[in-house]
Amino acid sequence: MDQEQQLLRDVFGYPDFRPGQRSLIDSLLGGQDVLGIMPTGAGKSICYQLPALLMPGITIVVSPLISLMKDQVGALVQSGVRAAYINSSLTERQCRKALENARNGIYKIIYVAPERLMTSGFLSVGAAPTNNIVCVDEAHCVSQWGQDFRPSYLAIPDYIKTLSHRPVVGAFTATATGEVREDILRLLQLQDLKVLVTGFDRPNLYFGVLSPTDKYAAVRQYLLSHPDRSGIIYCLTRKTVEEVTERLCEDGFSAVRYHAGLDPEERRRNQDDFVYDRARIMVATNAFGMGIDKSNVSFVLHYNMPKNIESYYQEAGRAGRDGSPADCILLYSGRDVITNQFLIDQSEPNPDLSPEQQAEIRQRDKERLRQMTFYATAHSCLREFLLRYFGEHPASYCGHCSVCEAGFELLDASDAAACALRAIAATSRRFGITTWIDLLRGAKNERLLYGALAASAEYGALADWDREQLRALFSLLLADGFLTRTQDDRPVLSLTDAGRDFLAHPAPLMLHRPNPRTHSTHPATAKQKKGAAQGPVDASLLARLKELRLSLAKRAGVPAFVIFTDVTLQNICAMMPKSEAEFLQVPGVGKAKCERYAADFLALLASYKGENLQ
């Protein structure tokens, strides 16, 4: 075993590196700048924390979020690493003290808010020639094309220039479309670069889309059928957050709310209640979550469709960070599209950009929203859709998403497509999808009969397709640009030039057609089978371990998962260590934590065994 792996075991308690970690660590240690693009939960932090421990001197980590810094530093200190953070949450005195310690070389790792970099106090830390790595977390914040542009990130290269020698620079992000990636390379002035993109797949996440008529009822049903799970419900607006939280509390669920309109005191309190497991459910706008490293989030429900796939994957990715099975379910309704459209139109223009650039950004936002809508209405594997969006070439069946579970067949739908397009081309009148589906199925509703649509040559031409299958066909025609749809309350369809071309020269068109009548399966029911594959864990022992963890966490003043994650506790249950040496073998237990906690846990295991023998 080499030094790096030894350190991974000793300090972090993990037996093996995850994909990509090794290569990024080796590059940084070899003096090469890196750009690491890994999905949320993949384990980016270790990629710079571990080299920080192996290099002499200090590693500076630029991070946009105060809560993230606090948790990361808390976790490092728990693992026996000297670390500190410098941001606006410190008092003047604490800050002076931290800077003094830093100058004296007390810390290996210092987290800093970008706004602080160019302050005289912080510059004095870098003056010592011992600054070896500068890491930029959430590096997409440097790009104004990204979703979370932070102008203060642009000061990072200036800061690096103030140092007596150029450190190795590592940039990390979970989001990088081509433009954002180029911005990161250019604006952070990365040199001799290694770019590593790990697979974006998160196999432990189950992806589902539901279009329930009553969203609240669907949420309630989910929560009732998963009573032990803790998770996040994302809503698009503050008002919806308020409404959903209120109803959940009335219904007896333990839920707290979070959005930018609350006073900072309540925000902090609610966040802590959730992170410290005092509240089971967090209902929030997208203001919540960046930098929340709560590892036992077992579901992320989206009450509304978010504005783009980047945001969706990042928010959904907050589930299952410890690698245990978790659900990511989107509750979609057509209204979500309109709300998002409105939010894009209302968004604050960036005053530094020209009107043309602003128009361009709006246009891109709309295109991103369109892609998100295709996900919400997809009839092919959801995981495939997401991974393809991030530039991968995944298999077209994952078996672990709501579409795969419901089942679908792949067929050449060119005749059916031509039929639908012909019907639309034949009249100058405009209708929404539902009317066209009625027409193609030959429905006997009044509107068709009196509107003379029943006289159309295509009336009833696709009578053997069910409604859901025809919806899939229309989604495909929209996604491929053969049809467009107006963006208002009652969207109507019209044929595009590409659609007319297709009618003139029909080409094969492959469609994932949902299997008849199986597609309404609720993922909650389908899911329960999967959980059981986990192997039995002694639930009452696990509960006792959690109690112990909670009391240790309270004593140390840190969230419970900082002591041990749920997965680590499950590993303890499964391995039943009898000695300190065995305890150290449990994945998730490092040396520092073993020294600190082995005695308490071993005592509990011994007495538990004793009780169960009697």
Contacts with ligand ADP, residue ranges (CB under 6 A): 14, 17-18, 21, 38, 40-46, 293, 295, 321-322, 565
Query: What gap in Å lies between CA 526 and CA 141, rounded to an integer?
Result: 38
Identify the helix (H) or strand (E) that includes residue 531.
Answer: helix 523-532
Nearer to ligand ADP, 443 or 586 (CB): 586
First to last CA, the chain: 43
Q: Are 102 and 84 in contact (CB under 8 A)?
A: yes
- CB of residue 10 vs ligand ADP: minimum separation in angstroms? 13
Is there binding between residue 328 and Zn ion (CB under 5 A)?
Answer: no
Question: Residue 51: in which H helix or E strand, if any?
Answer: helix 45-54
Out of 233, 329, 376, 381, name the contact with Zn ion by CB under 5 A: 381
Task: Decide: is 423 part of the binding site for Zn ion (CB under 5 A).
Answer: no
Site for Zn ion in 145-174 (CB under 5 A): none
Please identify, among the stretches 91-99, 211-219, 367-375, 391-399, the one whose residues bind Zn ion according to the rule CB under 5 A: 391-399
- Residue 60 or 381: the one with the smaller Cβ distance to Zn ion is 381
- Written as six digits, the tokens of 245 are 């939280």
43 binds, among Zn ion, ligand ADP, none (CB under 5 to 8 A by kind): ligand ADP
CB of 47 to ligand ADP, least distance (A): 8
Q: State in angstroms the smallest separation of the CB of 530 from ligand ADP.
A: 21
Contact of residue 570 among Zn ion, ligand ADP, none (CB under 5-8 Å per partner type): none
The count of other CB atoms within 10 Å of the CB of residue 252 is 7
Minimum distance from residue 375 beta carbon to Zn ion (Å): 12
Q: Are 458 and 420 in contact (CB under 8 A)?
A: yes
**Count of all residues that appear for the chain in the document:** 614
Q: Which does 321 bind (CB under 5 to 8 A by kind): ligand ADP, Zn ion, none?
A: ligand ADP
* Residue 511 binding target from ligand ADP, Zn ion, none, CB below 5 to 8 Å by type: none
Contact between 273 and 256 (Cβ < 8 Å): yes
Give the residue among 146, 235, 219, 171 at the shortest CA–CA distance from 33: 171
Rounded to a whole number of angstroms, the minimum distance from the CB of residue 75 to ligand ADP is: 8
C-alpha 272 chain-centroid distance: 20
Backbone angles phi and psi of 493, in degrees to 5: -100, 150
The nearer residue to Zn ion, 284 or 404, going by C-beta atoms, is 404
Q: Which is nearer to Zn ion, 151 or 203 (CB)?
A: 203
Is 421 or 476 the residue whose CB approaches Zn ion more closely? 476
Q: Bin 442: left if φ > 0, else alpha if -120 < ψ < 50, else beta.
A: left
Least distance CB 404 / Zn ion (angstroms): 3
Region from 15-23, 198-206, 394-402, 579-587 binding Zn ion, contact rule CB under 5 A: 394-402
Q: Is 404 in the site for Zn ion (CB under 5 A)?
A: yes
Tokens found for residue 513: 């057609």
| Residue with smallest beta-carbon separation from ligand ADP | 43
As measured in angstroms, the least distance from the Cβ of 199 to Zn ion is 15
Residue whose CB is less far from ligand ADP, 331 or 567: 567
> Residue 594 interacts with Zn ion (CB under 5 A)?
no
Select the span of 145-153, 278-286, 365-373, 375-383 touching Zn ion (CB under 5 A). Answer: 375-383
Measure the CA–CA gap between 349 and 375, rounded to whole angstroms: 27
Report the partner that residue 316 touches, choosing among ligand ADP, Zn ion, none (CB closer than 5 to 8 A by kind): none
Min CB(393)–ligand ADP separation in Å: 22
Q: State which of residues 70, 321, 383, 512 lies at the interface with Zn ion (CB under 5 A).
A: 383
In the chain, the amino acid numbered 2 is D
Interface segment toward Zn ion; rule CB under 5 A; list 33-41, 334-342, 401-409, 580-588: 401-409
Tokens 């800093």 locate to 112
Between 4 and 384, CB nearer to ligand ADP: 4
CB closer to ligand ADP, 46 vs 569: 46
CA-CA distances (angstroms) from residue 29 to 24, 102, 132?
9, 22, 10
**Tokens representing residue 295 in the block:** 């590892």
Kindly tell me which of 410 and 537 has the beta carbon lying closer to Zn ion. Answer: 410
Report yes or no: 308 and 369 within 8 Å, Cβ to Cβ.
yes
User: CB of residue 328 vs Zn ion: minimum separation in angstroms?
Assistant: 12
Name the token pair of 614.
């009697």
Q: Which of 416, 524, 394, 521 is nearest to 469 (CA)?
A: 416
Between residues 21 and 78, which has the closer beta carbon with respect to ligand ADP?
A: 21
User: Any residues with CB less than 8 A from the CB of 200 and at least 6 apart, and which?
Assistant: 39, 313, 386, 387, 390, 392
3-state secondary structure of 510: strand
> Per rule CB under 5 A, is residue 398 in the interface with Zn ion?
yes
What CA–CA distance (Å, rounded) separates 460 from 69? Answer: 61
**378 belongs to the binding site for Zn ion (CB under 5 A):** no
66 neighbors 116 (Cβ within 8 angstroms): no
404 binds, among ligand ADP, Zn ion, none (CB under 5 to 8 A by kind): Zn ion
Residue 259, both tokens: 């959005």
Residue 202, interface with Zn ion (CB under 5 A)?
no
* Separation between Cα atoms, residue 437 and residue 453, nearest integer Å: 12
Taken in order 133, 138, 144, 148, is the CA torsion positive or negative? Answer: negative
Number of other CB atoms surrounding residue 481 within 10 Å: 12
Nearest distance from residue 42's CB to ligand ADP, in Å? 4
In angstroms, rounded to a whole number, what is the distance separating the alpha carbons of residues 553 and 509? 57
Compare residues 308 and 314 and give the one whose CB is closer to ligand ADP.
Answer: 314
Residue linked to tokens 């071993």: 602
Question: Closer CB to Zn ion, residue 399 or residue 506?
Answer: 399
Of the candidate residues 209, 344, 401, 511, the single one contacting Zn ion (CB under 5 A): 401
Q: Which is nearer to ligand ADP, 46 or 316 (CB)?
A: 46
Residues linked to residue 135 through DSSP beta bridges, in sequence order: 61, 170
Tell whether residue 386 is a contact of Zn ion (CB under 5 A): no
From the list ligand ADP, Zn ion, none, partner contacted by residue 401 (C-beta under 5 to 8 A by kind): Zn ion
Q: Is 573 in the site for Zn ion (CB under 5 A)?
A: no
Task: Evaluate whether 558 touches 552 at the Cβ level (below 8 Å).
Answer: no
Give whichever of 126 and 320 is closer to ligand ADP, judged by the CB atom: 320
Q: For binding to Zn ion (CB under 5 A), which residues are involved? A: 381, 383, 398, 401, 404
